[in-house]
Chain A
């Protein structure tokens, strides 16, 4: 079974600074997808960024980028120029339809607080 681990329950950063959230996962498969989702307080889950395991190039979406290390099974999220609106719970998630169907497996989440 695939597992996803986020070892940082809480993190904080000053506005305009850069922060990195960690995620590791465990799988024996080669082809899979990784995601970061953001869940603001009392609001719905929003897809932040996605990475295909077969791509070596790290995904980037505006201020959000990932550092995907396939051999180390590591998938960290870097948020540059942090904004107050980035305050949220961030979840790392994994999917491999060949072995685990269409279910997303989520980590425990990291609560990020951006301070003014």
Chain B
């Protein structure tokens, strides 16, 4: 069990550019979640997958955001035409389908200049 991993750990981009983040969940976990955390705040839910199906999306997830989990293993989160307000820590978590504990990765810190 290597835990949840995320790549990259840090990303600096210019406003208007596209960025993509990757998350590798704990291998036997069916569920994968994306959260966003701004400084000094608790994480806010963005979306989650059970296997390859995206089952829920928050209204925080604007049209510029898209997430995929094509083979039910790793997931990608893409932000198109980044804005300064997208600067945040993007956290990935995973859990067993029937369990409720979510285990978090180290996060990707995005800075939009």
Chain B interface SS verdict (over half): strand
Pairs A–B under 8 Å by Cβ, sample size 15:
A33-B100, A45-B91, A46-B104, A47-B102, A50-B100, A50-B101, A91-B43, A95-B100, A102-B55, A103-B56, A104-B93, A106-B43, A106-B44, A108-B42, A109-B42
Determine whether the beta carbon of B42 is less than 8 Å from that of A101.
no
Complex alpha-carbon distance, A69 and B107, angstroms: 33
A to B contact number (C-beta, < 8 Å): 54
Give the A-binding residues of B (Cβ under 8 A): 31, 33, 35, 40-45, 48, 55-56, 58, 91, 93, 95, 100-107
* Contact digits for A94-106, partner B, Cβ 8 Å, 1 yes 0 no: 0101000111111
CB distance from A55 to the nearest CB of B (A): 13
A47 touches B103 (CB 8 A): yes
